[in-house]
Amino acid sequence: MDINIEIALELIEKAKKRGATEGDILIIEGELSTVQVRLSSIDKITDSNFKSLGLRLFFDKKSAITSTSDLTPESLDRLIEDTCSIAKLTAKDDYAGLPLLQYGMRIKKLDLYDDYVHHLSVEEMIEIAKEAEAAAFSYDDRITNSDSGNFSKRYTHVIYANTNGFCGDYKTSTFSLSVTPIATMNGQMQRDHWYSTKRKFVRLDKPADVGEQAAMRTVGRLGARKVHTQQAPVVFDPETASSLLSNLCMALSGYSIYKGASFLLGMLNKQIASPDVTIHDDGTIPWGIGSKPFDAEGIAARKTTMVEKGVLTSYLLDSYSARKLNLTSTGNASRSPSEPPVVAPTNFYLYPGNYSPSDIIKSVDSGLYVTELIGFGFNPVTGDYSRGAVGTWIENGELTYPVEEITIAGNIKEMLMQIEMVGNDLDFRQKICAPTIKVGRLTIAGH
C-alpha cells in the first residue's frame, strides 16, 4: 500500500507553524524480494516491505534531520519536536537552505517503473536463478561448485516535498540477476561473477547468457599467476573502467572541492584528461539505472557534460555545495531519509570512442588486461591510486595467461591524461559505466 503524499504536505505545514523557516520531507518506501539458489536448490529467500521518512528543518540557517520508520501521528509529532530542539543546537551556516524554486522547471516523465515488479512470483524468480546457475555449470566441466545464483526485484516509491512549494513523487523498479560460479583446476580454485540489472524485466539479459558469461570469466582465471614488477600499458575492461570513473566521481563531488579534499580543486575549465575523454552525467535516460525525474532537493534531472574532450567542465553539485562554490546545482543531490544530502552521479558515463576492444588489446605489445580490481586504494585528495588487480596478460596483441596477486598503481591525474584509446563498447549496465579503455603506462607490482 503506497503512502499518501498528503502525509508530507501535512508535516510541512506543522513544521512551518513551529517556526521552521525552511524544511523538506523525504519518504522512501518499497518492497524487496531476493532469492538465492545454490547447486540447483533454494538456499535463501528474503522478502520485505520498507519505509522511512526523513524530516529536515531549518531555523534561520540552523538545521537538523530526523528520521523514522514509524509513521503513526504520535511518532511524527515527536519527530517534529526532536528536529526543532536539535536544530537549535547546531551552528548557523549562511550557506544552508533549500534551492530556490525554479519556476518553469520541467520535470520530465521518465520510464523507470515496470509494474511487473508486483507480479513476478517467487517461483519464477527461483527458476530464473536456477537456469542461470545451470548454464554456468554446463558451459565448462571445470565449473565444479557455485557460490550462488541470485535474483532480486525491488520496488521503490520516492516522495519529496519542501517549503518552497515543491511536491513530487516517482516509482522505480529494479530486477537483478547474478551468478557466481567456482572453477577448479590442479587444486587451484577461482570464482568470478556476472550480472544483469535492469529497470524493465523484459530487458534483462537471458539467464543462460548471464550464466555462461559468469562461467567464462571464472574459467578464464584458472592457472593465474603473478608477473614481475614493471611498468606497462593497462587495458581496463568496461567493469574496471567503470570503477575508475567511480573514483573520479569522489573527486568531482562539490563537497570534496569546497573542503579542499580533491585533486580536482581549481581545475574547472582546465585539461584534466586526454582529448579522447568526454564524460556525461545524465539523469534523464529512459529506463536508466541512475535516472530519476528530480533529485533529493526537487531539482529536475538533466544532462551535464562533466568532461569535454579532456577539459573539466563541471563538478557534481547539489544546492549547498553549489552555493559554497558560487556555482549552480547540477541536480545531483542524493540522500537517504536519515542523512543530509551528498552529491551522487545519476547515469555517469564515458562517451564511447572508435576502437573495438580487440583493436585496443591488439595495440599492446606487453601489458595487462585488467578485469577485476579490489581494495580501496584511491586517495581523492592526492589522486594516488594503488589497487589489487586480476586480469590477463597481453603479449604481442594477444590475450595469453591469467594473472593475479598483483597491484596496479599510479596517480589518477596522470592516468586520465594517459587514456590513449577509448572503446566503442559502452553498455549501460549500471549507474556508472565506461567502455574499454587503455592507459599508456602504470606500475604493476608483482614478484
Partner 1 sequence: MSKDLTTPETFLTRKFGIDSHSIEKAMSNFLSGKTDYADLYFEYVISEALGLEEGLVKSASKNIAQGVGVRAIAGDKTGYAYSDEISLDQIQLAAKTASFIAAESGNSVLVPLKGVASPRLNLYPVETYPAGIPVEAKVRLLDKIDKMARDYDPRIKNVMASFTSEYKLILIVTSEGLVIGDIQPLCRLNITCIAEENGKRQAGSYGGGGRIGFSYFFEENRYILYTRKAARQAITNLEAVDTPAGTMDVVLGPGWPGILLHEAIGHGLEADFNRKRSSAFTDMIGKKVASELCTVVDDGTILQRRGSINIDDEGTETQRTILIEKGVLKGYLQDRLNAKLMNMPLTGNGRRESYAHPPLPRMTNTFLLPGEAAPMDIIRSVQKGLYAVAFGGGQVDITNGKFVFTASEAYLIEDGKVTVPVRGATLVGNGPDILKRVSMVGNDMELDAGVGTCGKDGQSVPVGVGMPTIKIDGITVGGTR
- The residue range among 110-118, 184-192, 198-206, 325-333 that interacts with partner 1, by the rule CB under 8 A, is 184-192
Give CA separation, 336 vs 55, 110, 138, 149, in Å: 11, 21, 42, 29
CB closer to partner 1 out of 356 and 430: 430
Residue 170 binds partner 1 (CB under 8 A): no
Q: Could you tell me the smallest distance in angstroms from the CB atom of residue 425 to partner 1?
A: 25
Question: 229 Cβ partners below 8 Å, 6+ apart?
Answer: 443, 444, 445, 446, 447
Place of cell 590513449: 420
Residue ranges in 338-357 that form contacts with partner 1 under rule CB under 8 A? 338-340
Q: Could you tell me the smallest distance in angstroms from the CB atom of residue 376 to partner 1?
A: 4
Cα–Cα distance, 418 to 414 (Å, whole number): 6
Residue ranges in 289-348 that form contacts with partner 1 under rule CB under 8 A? 338-340
Continuous H helices in 90-224: 122-139, 207-219
Residue 405 binds partner 1 (CB under 8 A): yes
- Closest Cα partner for 122 from 47, 43, 38? 47
Strand partners, 395: 366, 398
- The residue range among 131-139, 261-269, 284-292, 428-436 that interacts with partner 1, by the rule CB under 8 A, is 261-269
Q: How many residues bind partner 1 (CB under 8 A)?
A: 77
Q: Could you tell me the smallest distance in angstroms from the CB atom of residue 373 to partner 1?
A: 9
CA 251 to chain CA mean position, Å:
15
In the shown chain, the binding pattern of residues 131 to 160 toward partner 1, with x for contact by CB under 8 A and - for none, equals --------------x-x-------------
CB closer to partner 1 out of 364 and 412: 412
Residue 409 binds partner 1 (CB under 8 A): yes
Cα–Cα distance, 139 to 218 (Å, whole number): 11
Q: Could you tell me the smallest distance in angstroms from the CB atom of residue 102 to partner 1?
A: 24
Residue 182 binds partner 1 (CB under 8 A): yes
Considering only 404, 417, 423, 425, the residue that binds partner 1 (CB under 8 A) is 404
Considering only 6, 375, 395, 398, the residue that binds partner 1 (CB under 8 A) is 375
Burial-class residue 146 by CB neighbours within 10 Å (0-12, 13-18, 19+): buried
- Closest Cα partner for 236 from 435, 9, 405? 435
- The residue range among 6-14, 16-24, 270-278, 405-413 that interacts with partner 1, by the rule CB under 8 A, is 405-413
Check the CA dihedral 225-229-232-235 and report its sign.
Answer: positive
Cα–Cα distance, 234 to 350 (Å, whole number): 17
CB closer to partner 1 out of 25 and 406: 406
Three-state secondary-structure class, residue 171:
strand
Amino acid in the structure at residue 121: S
Residue ranges in 34-93 that form contacts with partner 1 under rule CB under 8 A? 38, 41-52, 63-70, 75, 82-83, 86-87, 89-93
Check the CA dihedral 418-288-268-424 and report its sign.
Answer: positive
Amino acid in the structure at residue 272: I
Residue ranges in 2-31 that form contacts with partner 1 under rule CB under 8 A? none
CB closer to partner 1 out of 254 and 435: 254
Kindly report the backbone phi and psi dihedral angles of residue 110, in degrees, each rounded to the nearest multiple of 5, phi listed first.
-110, 145
- The residue range among 100-108, 260-268, 303-311, 420-428 that interacts with partner 1, by the rule CB under 8 A, is 260-268
Residue 366 binds partner 1 (CB under 8 A): no
Three-state secondary-structure class, residue 444:
strand
Q: Could you tell me the smallest distance in angstroms from the CB atom of residue 45 to partner 1?
A: 5
CB closer to partner 1 out of 281 and 297: 297
Q: Could you tell me the smallest distance in angstroms from the CB atom of residue 134 to partner 1?
A: 17
**Residue 169 DSSP class:** E
Cα–Cα distance, 441 to 231 (Å, whole number): 6
